[in-house]
Structure 1
Amino acid sequence: MSLDWERHSEVVAYTFLEAFSQLEKWTADESIQKSEFFNELEAYWNGLPGALRGRSAFEVDEVDRLITAHVKDEVKKADGTGERKKVQRWCFTERGAEIPKVFFVDSAQTKRGLYLHLPEVPSPPEFPNVLTADFLEGVRARLSVSQLALWTEFLSTSKSTSKQLVLFISTPRAAGGRSLIGVVFSAKDHQVQSDQPVTPITVRRQTAAYMRERGGASLDLLGKHVAVVGCGAVGSFVADTLASAGVGRLTLVDFDVFSEDNVFRHVLDERYVGFDKVWGLKIRLEQQYPGLKVDCAVKHAQDWLCQDVMADLDGVVLAIGSPTLERLLSRRFKMVQRQLPVVFTWLEAMDLGGHSVLTSTRGEGCLECLYRDEEGAQSLLPRTAFLEQNQRVTRNLTGCASVFVPYGALQARRTGLMAADQLLGAITHGTDAPAYQFWVGTGTAAQAQGLKTTNWWRRAPSVSQSEATASVFGRACKHCRGHV
């Protein structure tokens, strides 16, 4: 919704009428009033007097169970006054689980917690009234037989001394999902101490499933396993994109070490210089994307592929940048006895563009199909090349064998996104038809260096992806013909 800030009176009138309409609906239908309120229960709960805020790493589901609370006292300066005050840092985990490092509560005290799922919860106090033990009694009155047994076990540690306990309750929302509210209270002799404070608490839910769903990552991809072979600039962006999209497991294959030459066109930063690229990416990606598992193979692609590595994969992306090796691996993939999408991706030098080719381990269409001329005869230069052959495109700035092909992070990112998107489409929709995608750059930097481009680079901006695919894969080559 966009407001025209110059139309002051109309904005005020519209706002007033909308508020009035909302009140009318609430007055006319009590069920709407209750539903709307409980849809926003967590926000209301967090606004109750004395409310605490913490972090949770337990799943919000329909399984009643004991959990563990961790609390650490800290001293902080109050905003504006400079006075120091005592605060508590709370976090909550599954019973017996480690505290996530991002919760920063080392040396915390542990307390007993209970998680219950109820069809509905008692009404909270009307603001500004405080929460009391009456709310807990209302919860107890709604418990099933099995929940009552769990409640009795929960209070059993308070036999003779006062114990601080934490109760969390989830309840369905009419708008979808579940609300989660918590209560910190004291118990003694197996009973709630009604003369002690009862404090509301809400949490930031830092579980893999919740953050994935809210962050736009696909839960359907959580069980998928993809290998990224080649973890340089393009491969690193492929891996990062697959992880952010929701792929639950990655196998990263690369024999190389991350160097200072890579810093400005790679996902990793200079802290990882000297690390194996795959191990650096494992640390970086697993820290950023909860629930992700990364396996590392510090190997050459051909050595990795010689092992029995294909059995549990759902897809492979090769970002090696070595045409000879890619063609050999393409033939090796055709020997795999199960259907599996394989994407080959690479960059052209400078700012000419990038390519991504989707193939399958079964059926017609492979990387070798590109290496033919217009008459179908074998060629050392792919039909998709943007640069004419036999040109020097590498640079050496130090004279100590530090040879590299010049291109930037923008080109690497764009190509990596294209390749990842192509593979995700194949996994999600079960597409196994070969496809060729590309992007074409301005070529300004390449032309400034005197590099010669092919007719295809000049024609490509006016050719659709489907037309290009038909041109490349219209007739199967001898290497993939007959693989069904």
Structure 2
Amino acid sequence: MSLAPERLARFARHIVLPEIGGAGQAALANSHVVLIGCGGIGSPALQYLAAAGIGRLTLVDDDVVDVSNLQRQTIFTPSDVGTPKAEAAAEWVRRFDLGLEVTAVVERLGGDNADRILPDADLVLDGCDNFATRLAVSDACVARAIPLTSAAIGRFQGQVANFAGHREDQPCYRCFVGDAFDAQDCDTCAADGVLGAMVGMVGTFAAMHAIRVLVDGHAAFGDPKYGSLTLIDGMNPGMRSIRIAKDPACSACGA
């Protein structure tokens, strides 16, 4: 895929990076990313995926914009309150870059709609706020051989990792958390609070991790680091990584 002259100018700062280059930028332009959740993590992730020139975006969220979201969900404004988040996010993309294709899906991804939402996705970025959906997304990715970027936050702690559980030597998200969290009840930002800037840090880091997957095989930056979970500490600033082992007994990706 070649880039039109105006696209070359727009992404010039990417292209001059030897680790990305023209081949890497073309790979981004030819990619389809499905974003699960357009809220705190999804908003900054979407901004930088769109800014990176991801050619096709599918935005999945069944919630509507609330005034309390504006403290951290940076693509929304007061005029969006009451609007489905997926639709408002898609409109933001259209205003930002007419060269991108975007689709809004006002639903929650599950077993009954994954085949309709995920076909031909090159990557899924999950920034949703409950374990039941996270595990459903992970299982759907494993079943369809789609790489997954998973990002989560709790108060001042963030977690980001790339998963490729469909590969024999790689874990999936369920290998990490197990089967005990297939439920809607979990800690929430509404109950525990969250610092807006911390969500932005996790979301943009997730976007960078997604780009690693999408340029893999096309650019030197393309090292997905599958199965390596990055822990981000906002209270005592720092990062560290841990390796997640593949669980042979995993109900989604195990033997």
User: TM exceeds 0.5?
Assistant: yes
For residues 368 and 303 of structure 1, the distance between their equivalents in structure 2, rounded to whole angstroms, comes to 16
Kept in 2: contact 1:341–1:427 (CA 8 A) = no
Structure having the higher strand fraction is 1
For residues 160 and 14 of structure 2, the distance between their equivalents in structure 1, rounded to whole angstroms, comes to 24
Q: What SS does the corresponding residue of 2:47 show, helix, strand or coil?
A: helix
In structure 2, the partner of 1:214 is 12
In structure 1, the partner of 2:102 is 294
Counterpart residue type for residue 429 of structure 1: D
Does 1:356 find its partner at 2:129? no
User: Match for 2:231 among 438, 443, 463?
Assistant: 438
In structure 2, the partner of 1:248 is 55
How many residues were matched structurally?
231
Q: What SS does the corresponding residue of 1:281 show, helix, strand or coil?
A: helix
TM-score normalised by L of structure 2: 0.79
Distance verdict in 2 for CA 1:306–1:214, change over 3 Å: closer
Residues 82-132 of structure 1 deviation map (CA, whole Å, 9 limit, x = unaligned):
xxxxxxxxxxxxxxxxxxxxxxxxxxxxxxxxxxxxxxxxxxxxxxxxxxx
Cα offset for 1:474? Answer: 5.8
Gaps of 5+ in 2: 16-24, 218-223
Matches within 5 A, 1:81-480: 207=6, 209-214=7-12, 216=14, 218-267=25-74, 268-302=76-110, 305-336=113-144, 339-349=145-155, 351=156, 353-363=157-167, 364-371=170-177, 403-430=190-217, 431=224, 433-442=226-235, 464-465=240-241, 468-469=242-243, 472-473=244-245, 476-479=248-251, 480=253
Kept in 1: contact 2:111–2:136 (CA 8 A) = no
Q: What SS does the corresponding residue of 1:358 show, helix, strand or coil?
A: strand
Counterpart residue type for residue 481 of structure 1: G
Distance verdict in 2 for CA 1:324–1:246, change over 3 Å: same
Kept in 2: contact 1:212–1:219 (CA 8 A) = no
Distance verdict in 2 for CA 1:211–1:348, change over 3 Å: same
In structure 2, the partner of 1:108 is none
Cα offset for 1:334? Answer: 2.2
For residues 45 and 27 of structure 2, the distance between their equivalents in structure 1, rounded to whole angstroms, comes to 19
Counterpart residue type for residue 416 of structure 1: G
Could you say which structure has the greater relative contact order, defined with CA pairs below 8 angstroms and 6 or more residues apart? 2
For residues 327 and 348 of structure 1, the distance between their equivalents in structure 2, rounded to whole angstroms, comes to 17
Kept in 1: contact 2:64–2:84 (CA 8 A) = yes
Kept in 1: contact 2:159–2:202 (CA 8 A) = yes
Cα offset for 1:308? Answer: 3.0
Cα offset for 1:274? Answer: 1.7
Distance verdict in 2 for CA 1:309–1:406, change over 3 Å: same
Gaps of 5+ in 1: 1-58, 61-206, 373-377, 382-389, 396-402, 444-459
Kept in 2: contact 1:360–1:432 (CA 8 A) = no
Distance verdict in 2 for CA 1:357–1:213, change over 3 Å: closer
CA RMSD of aligned residues (A): 2.9
Counterpart residue type for residue 235 of structure 2: T
For residues 188 and 165 of structure 2, the distance between their equivalents in structure 1, rounded to whole angstroms, comes to 33
Kept in 2: contact 1:317–1:342 (CA 8 A) = yes
Distance verdict in 2 for CA 1:228–1:215, change over 3 Å: same
For residues 265 and 304 of structure 1, the distance between their equivalents in structure 2, rounded to whole angstroms, comes to 31
Cα offset for 1:413? Answer: 0.6
For residues 299 and 213 of structure 1, the distance between their equivalents in structure 2, rounded to whole angstroms, comes to 32
Q: What SS does the corresponding residue of 2:41 show, helix, strand or coil?
A: helix
Q: What SS does the corresponding residue of 1:473 show, helix, strand or coil?
A: coil
Kept in 2: contact 1:341–1:432 (CA 8 A) = no
For residues 260 and 215 of structure 1, the distance between their equivalents in structure 2, rounded to whole angstroms, comes to 35
